[in-house]
Amino acid sequence: GNSVTQMEGPVTLSEEAFLTINCTYTATGYPSLFWYVQYPGEGLQLLLKATKADDKGSNKGFEATYRKETTSFHLEKGSVQVSDSAVYFCALSADSWGKLQFGAGTQVVVTP
């Protein structure tokens, strides 16, 4: 079956540090890939997505590139802020029904 594996947290960083969260997937066919973010006390929000190989999704300074050869979709941000403290979920959608398969989530804590 389909699955998503992402690095365990918490990841603790200082403000302005570089952030990488690794995500790899297993899926049949050509899934769409997503990063969702969950701020404390809130629901999930779509951060970025990519629908085919070599696509780069970007939003709010975050980027992720769909790498089919390595089945990966790593999230990166060059300079994090305290406001980026949240839980980040990698997810895939591999069928026409649009169902999402989520990774376990990675908590990111950014300190001043």
Q: Does 108 help bind another protein (rule: CB under 8 A)?
A: no
The smaller minimum CB distance to another protein, of residues 75 and 112, is found at 75
Q: Which of 7, 11, 17, 100 touches another protein by CB under 8 A?
A: 100
47 near another protein (CB under 8 A): no
Query: What single letter denotes the amino acid at residue 18?
Result: F
Does 93 help bind another protein (rule: CB under 8 A)?
Answer: yes
Buried b (16+ CB within 10 A) or exposed e, 16-40: eeebebbbbbebeeebbbbbbbbee
What's the 3-state SS for 84-97?
HCEEEEEEEECCCC
Beta 11-14 vs 106-111: how paired, if at all?
parallel
Q: How far, rounded to the nearest angstrom, does the alpha carbon of residue 64 sit from its chain's CA centroid? A: 7
Binding another protein by CB under 8 A: which of 44, 50, 64, 110? 44
What is the pattern of x (binds another protein, CB under 8 A) and - over residues 2-41? Answer: --x---------------------------x-x-x----x
For binding to another protein (CB under 8 A), which residues are involved? 4, 32, 34, 36, 41-46, 49, 89, 93, 97-100, 102-105
